[in-house]
Amino acid sequence: MESDNLHEVLANLYNEMMPLASNMIAMAKGLGGLGALFYIALQVWAALSRAEPIDVYPLLRPLAIGLCIMFFPTLVLGTINSVLSPVVKGTHLILKEQVIDLRALQQKKDQLERQILANNPETAYLVSNEEFDNKIQELGWSISDLTSISTMYLERGMYDFKKSIRDGFRELLENVFHASALVIDTIRTFFLIVLSIFGPIAFAISIWSGFSSSLSQWLSRYISVYLWLPISDILSSILARIQTLIIGKDLERLTSSSTSTLDSFDTVYILFMIIGIVGYFTIPTLSSWIIQAGAGGNYTRNINQTALRTTNMAGAVSGSVGGNILGQLIKK
């Protein structure tokens, strides 16, 4: 199953879990009604004790929150999602405009590398079995010929080994790259479902004196988590553009050059993949900059620490592989 289909599964999961918020409305009604009774009684008693006229405006707050609780799925969640969904669609449109089939570009680059090697008589045996067999047949059984045959086998094996390592590591990082986006979307969906289910309770608690900030905190957290997906799309579009430019530079270099080697361009591509993986784990922090959600600090700190550990590990592996490739090129 492709990653796009998994994102659609998560979106459908959110819509299917939304009816569960209705189960909390009855409990929230009782809690909110009791809180409204005490709130109004306290305000009226305080005004009478001071021999002041009763201010009706503050008493409308629990009534307004009560209406939100009664029609929570449509009035609250429906309104917020309707306002924020154009942001998600807009960033997804940016992503669709920027994303090019990188796999097709990479295949085009690999085919061009293979064609350049095949057109060069000195390196054709590395990619063509027919040329390799012809060279073997041209050689005799003298000691120098046997040495040349052994060298050919060794060079071809080293070329295949380097190419396999490069392609395997690149594919691994691409899978981790897509998995990072999926992890962010999965955590986002889980947070939104939990916030939606317990939203009526949070609204009801906010009626009680001393807990009025629960309403603003719930709204800020919900919006902050909701923005993870559009921020992720923007990051993906930027990385897709960078990767496209890198592969484009490779194609220009291969088109204007008569030689092809496994050089540092692939190392740059791999490094940008690692940067993209780390970038996904900074999305919660960036989202909290757009709209402040105070309780997300511990989670953001923990997830960023995990991202740093992952970066150190991936950086060490990529540095080792890139260094070995460049070292072999320098020797040649």
Instruction: Report residue 55: phi and psi, to 5°.
Output: -85, 115
The tokens describing 122, both together, are 């000195």
Q: Vertex 290, ends 287 and 296: CA angle to 5°?
A: 45
Please, what is the end-to-end C-alpha distance for the chain in angstroms? Answer: 43
Band (221; pLDDT cuts 50, 70, 90)? very high
pTM: 0.71
The domain locations on the chain are: 3-19+72-123+163-198+206-331
**Count of H-run helices and E-run strands, the chain:** 14, 0
Q: How far apart are CA 249 and CA 241, in angstroms?
A: 12
User: Are residues 116 and 87 in contact, defined by beta-carbon separation less than 8 angstroms?
Assistant: no
Specify the amino acid at residue 310.
T
Tens-place pLDDT, residues 53-83? 877 777 888 888 888 888 888 888 889 999 9
Tens-place pLDDT, residues 149-196? 677 777 777 777 777 777 777 778 778 877 888 888 899 999 999 898
Residue, of 140 and 109, whose pLDDT is higher: 109
Q: How far apart are CA 117 and CA 113, in angstroms?
A: 6
Tens-place pLDDT, residues 24-37? 777 787 888 888 87
User: Are residues 73 and 21 in contact, defined by beta-carbon separation less than 8 angstroms?
Assistant: yes
User: Are residues 234 and 94 in contact, defined by beta-carbon separation less than 8 angstroms?
Assistant: yes
pLDDT at 2: 59
> Which region holds residue 53: left if phi is over 0, alpha if psi is between -120 and 50, else beta?
beta
Band (145; pLDDT cuts 50, 70, 90)? low
Residue 177's Cβ-side half-sphere holds a number of Cα atoms within 13 Å equal to: 19
Residue, of 204 and 125, whose pLDDT is higher: 204
User: Are residues 301 and 284 in contact, defined by beta-carbon separation less than 8 angstroms?
Assistant: no
Q: How far apart are CA 304 and CA 283, in angstroms?
A: 10
Band (140; pLDDT cuts 50, 70, 90)? low
Q: How far apart are CA 141 and CA 182, in angstroms?
A: 58
Q: What does the DSSP assignment read for 7-53?
A: HHHHHHHHHHHTTHHHHTHHHHHHHHHHHHHHHHHHHHHHHHHTT--
Whole-number average pLDDT of the chain: 74
Q: Shortest CA distance to 232 belongs to which of 196, 170, 291, 284?
A: 284
The tokens describing 67, both together, are 């209406």
Band (228; pLDDT cuts 50, 70, 90)? very high
Q: How far apart are CA 108 and CA 116, in angstroms?
A: 12
Mean of the pLDDT values across residues 12-17? 84
